[in-house]
Chains A and B, each alone.
Chain A
Amino acid sequence: METISYLLQGFAVALTPENLMFAAIGAMLGTLIGALPGLGPANGVAILIPLAFSLGLSPASSLILLTAVYAGAMYGGRISSILLNIPGDEPAMMTTLDGYPMAMKGKAAEALAISAIASFIGSLLATIGLIILAPILARFALQFGPAEYFALFSLAFATLGGITGKNPVKTIVAAALGLMIATVGVDITTGNQRYTYNILELYEGVDFIIAIVGLFAISELLFFIEKHIGEGAGRATLNKLNLKMKDIIEILPTSLRGSLLGFVSGVLPGAGASLGSFISYTLEKRIVGEKGNFGEGDPRGVAAPEAGNNAAANGALVPMLTLGVPGSGTTAVLLAMLISLNIQPGPMLFQQNAELVWGVIAALLVGNIMLLLLNIPMVGVFVKLLSIPPKYLMPVVTLVAAVGIYSISNSALDLYFMVGFGLLGYLLRKLDVPLVPVILGMLLGPEMERNLRHALSISDGDWRILFSSGLSIGIWIVAFLGLALPYIIGPVLRRRMERARARLEVEEEGD
């Protein structure tokens, strides 16, 4: 009951005209970003963070804008999957399997509509899951002492492999890089300076917002320059929508199953949206069995992964908001934003910033309805936007990034740092080193270090304090599983995903 009254308060925040506008803008931009091949949700949110700063938005408005972008990107990813057979982002990959064949049969509009409805259901159910689950998790707040936090952050690092890992060594290198950058600044446990070289600007460490914008947005620009991509993705045509009630009812059970699976894989740290869409698709294929024509344009093959990846995206917000441990790359970026706004995520968030958290949750519900409305009648607009050449888009992105970073602290040094991180990001991406662990290292490293030192300070140096409570032992076990499982199951899953896609392409060629 308490939850409902909080949620109503949240609606009071989300339904102010200003926040409604930001949710709408975020949903629009997010869909566009998701639709453009190459620009995933993490990049999308990273690019818009400076915008939130340069507009001087309140914490609630900034978060509403960015979560709307996040949700929008999950919707938008499917547009190019269906029309062009190019996934707009990684989680939308499974949608190409049946979405593109549907488009080939002249049912592109139906595929887009069905996927929008499935996305809506996935998002909606996952938001409800978030509403139910988050306060329960947050109730553990007081049980978390430094030992438990240390175990929790270890868990976050242990599950990194699941978020990014194709190559475990590169993931470790990336995380270590982040940890190293995080040691710059005044060490609050002793008050000593580390690696500051008497440069005042370095006393508070390197701002991870600058690192994120540099690593993601600026390096994206460098890639565009390198590839000379000047033209837009090919032109796509759209037929007139002809969707009957029967078609919607037909995909309902599929969407419900996909939502549930997606939500669970989103909540688990490290699994993320790609896994959500993959599991939903393969399970649906198995349930429907011979009766379906998966891979040849079955509407259920579009609904399942879309419900799955949207549900996973919202599910990933659960560990991010309640424990301060991001469940995916994009939530890591959102976490950085929260910390920059002087809001410490974690078990206390729901008590200290109830209005903000519930405002964002309510905005997710509102944004989801907006996205449905945007994505069915207005999908044609996004299809047209797909053909905007990036040569017009990227300068705008860069301009927004530079203005935003400068407006945070009015310091030109920050701009040099942004460019530096851009070059670093470009280099790392060239070397196939994932960027998300760098960010996680920067975000969580200092917290992890501080909690370890606090724990040892409390126990007067006795290491056994780290394993002294049931809660901490439980977290350590999950951390161990999180470390081990992706290396056991991950390659199998990934191989299957690739095989499924490869098979489809072969079949296409055979036609």
Chain B
Amino acid sequence: MQRPIRKLLLASSLVFAASQSYAFEPSRTAECIAPANPGGGWDFTCRSVGKVLTDLKYIEGNVQTVNMPGAGGGVAFAHTVSKREGDESLIVAASTATTTRLAQGQFAGLNSDQVRWVGALGADYGVIAVASDSPYKSLNELFAAIKEEPTSVKFGGGSAAGGWDHLKVLIAAKADGVENLPKIKYLAYNGGAEAITQVVGGHIQAFTGDVSEVLGFVESGDLRVLAVMSEERLPGEYAGMPTAVEQGIQAIAPNWRGFYLPAGISDDAYNWWTETVDGIYASDEWKAVMQQNGLMPFHKSGEEFTTFVNQQVQDIRDLSIEIGLIK
């Protein structure tokens, strides 16, 4: 019994040494963890990127999507940190929701530097909208009313209190010089569409969410977009929507879609994945996916992305402390 095991160990250490001396060779198959149930945004990120990875032959075999819901991504994050260290064929879908929860310490004390951030492949930008019969015609007017009486405008969005939809309002309000941010009322709904219905029905005054959520309602004439929170106007059918920046409010809120990798992987592997993400983003296949699903241009990878994530975590942490959500 002893001998075969020793042989096996020897063989595997040889293989290990061999793989070290060559540049990273991706495994035949890969795994993508979507930290939510099928049907959500992360599930979409995994499945669409997985398909492009295979189609473009980055990965020879299949990219299997594994759904791991729980704690808004926390279960998958903890799993990646504690059980998958050094696994070079694993990617995990992430978005601004991930950084928000990391910033607010909602992943049971885990931090953003316990994984390797590889890149983002598009974004959905924040938007603030009102019903089409609302008296507010611009973001400035809306915030003017709030400055006068903080409870006069109730915002509704699809994330929990303190979540990204709530934070967008605060980011914009802060940029416009609104004081007393904790007084701004935010109602949490199960999803963007539910909140929009409440705005259109006249039960609450304003909607905060992502731009892809409002498009149908803007086209049907139910909603008026006061501001999109992007650097510049968005392309295509979104071109008619004004930005916050245009109105003198420096508020930018991308809800990016990207990935992280487990810690403990080789630099070669990290670089391979970074280049792969760049390659996917530049491909026609991915452009078609973005077009079909209303994803907006947004791309960062490698070091730049890691810096961006850390900055976003820091900004959200500061804002959350300011509104008294965390200490």
Interface of A with B (CB < 8 Å)? 56, 59, 141-146, 186-191, 198, 200-201, 203-204, 340-342, 344, 347-348, 352, 408-411, 450, 454, 457-458, 460
Q: B residues within 8 A CB of A203?
A: 70-72, 74-75, 106
Q: A residues within 8 A CB of B25?
A: none
A145 and B198 within 8 A (CB): yes
Q: A residues within 8 A CB of B130?
A: none
- Choice from B40, B71, B107 contacting A201 with Cβ under 8 Å: B71
Q: How far is the CA of A198 from the CA of B78 in the complex (A)?
A: 12
Closest B residue to A57 by beta carbon equals B38
A144 and B161 within 8 A (CB): no
* Given pairs A146-B198, A348-B194, 18 additional interface contacts (CB within 8 A): A56-B38, A145-B198, A145-B203, A146-B203, A186-B106, A189-B161, A200-B71, A200-B75, A201-B75, A203-B70, A203-B71, A203-B74, A203-B106, A342-B37, A347-B197, A410-B68, A457-B187, A458-B187
Q: B residues within 8 A CB of A189?
A: 160-161, 187-188
Chain B interface residue count, CB cutoff 8 Å, equals: 39
Q: How far is the CA of A286 from the CA of B193 in the complex (A)?
A: 50
Residues 179-198 of chain B, each 1 if its beta carbon lies under 8 Å from chain A, else 0: 00000010110110110011
Closest B residue to A353 by beta carbon equals B193
B194 and A342 within 8 A (CB): no
Could you tell me the distance in whole angstroms from the C-beta of A197 to the nearest C-beta in chain B? 11
A191 and B161 within 8 A (CB): yes
Task: Give residues of chain B (164-192) contacting chain A, Cβ–Cβ below 8 Å.
Answer: 185, 187-188, 190-191
B191 and A450 within 8 A (CB): no
The 7 closest A-B pairs by CB, nearest first: A203-B71, A145-B203, A188-B160, A191-B162, A142-B201, A191-B161, A188-B188
- Choice from B78, B151, B160 contacting A460 with Cβ under 8 Å: B151
The A interface, classified by DSSP as helix, strand, loop or mixed, is loop
- Choice from A187, A201, A348, A458 contacting B154 with Cβ under 8 Å: A458
Q: B residues within 8 A CB of A460?
A: 151
Residues 96-129 of chain B, each 1 if its beta carbon lies under 8 Å from chain A, else 0: 0000000010111000000000000000000000
Q: A residues within 8 A CB of B68?
A: 409-411
- Choice from B107, B161, B198 contacting A200 with Cβ under 8 Å: B107
Q: How far is the CA of A200 from the CA of B188 in the complex (A)?
A: 21
B250 at the interface (CB under 8 A from A): no
Interface of B with A (CB < 8 Å)? 37-40, 66-72, 74-75, 78, 104, 106-108, 151, 154, 159-163, 185, 187-188, 190-191, 193-194, 197-198, 200-201, 203-204, 325
State whether A142 and B70 are in contact (beta carbons under 8 Å apart), knowing that A189-B161, A198-B108, A200-B75 are contacts in the complex.
Answer: no
Q: B residues within 8 A CB of A352?
A: 193
State whether A186 and B70 are in contact (beta carbons under 8 Å apart), knowing that A142-B200, A200-B78, A411-B75 are contacts in the complex.
Answer: no
Q: A residues within 8 A CB of B69?
A: 204, 408-409
State whether A188 and B67 are in contact (beta carbons under 8 Å apart), knowing that A142-B197, A344-B194, A450-B188 are contacts in the complex.
Answer: no
Closest A residue to B198 by beta carbon equals A145
A-B contact pairs, 19 of them (CB 8 A): A56-B38, A145-B198, A145-B203, A187-B160, A188-B190, A189-B160, A191-B104, A191-B160, A191-B162, A200-B70, A200-B74, A200-B107, A201-B75, A203-B71, A204-B72, A347-B197, A409-B37, A411-B70, A454-B187
Q: How far is the CA of A341 from the CA of B107 in the complex (A)?
A: 24
Q: How far is the CA of A287 from the CA of B104 in the complex (A)?
A: 69
- Choice from B161, B185, B190 contacting A190 with Cβ under 8 Å: B161
Q: A residues within 8 A CB of B198?
A: 145-146
Could you tell me the distance in whole angstroms from the C-beta of A456 to the nearest C-beta in chain B? 11
- Choice from A143, A201, A409, A410 contacting B201 with Cβ under 8 Å: A143
Q: How far is the CA of A432 from the CA of B62 in the complex (A)?
A: 51
Q: How far is the CA of A344 from the CA of B67 in the complex (A)?
A: 20
B71 and A458 within 8 A (CB): no
- Choice from B39, B71, B161, B188 contacting A204 with Cβ under 8 Å: B71
Q: Residue among A143, A146, A188, A341 with the most chain B CB within 10 A?
A: A188
State whether A144 and B108 are in contact (beta carbons under 8 Å apart), knowing that A201-B71, A457-B185 are contacts in the complex.
Answer: no
- Choice from B71, B74, B161, B325 contacting A188 with Cβ under 8 Å: B161
Q: Residue among A59, A191, A352, A411 with the most chain B CB within 10 A?
A: A191
Q: B residues within 8 A CB of A186?
A: 71-72, 106, 160
Q: How far is the CA of A248 from the CA of B174 in the complex (A)?
A: 74
Could you tell me the distance in whole angstroms from the C-beta of A381 to the nearest C-beta in chain B? 35
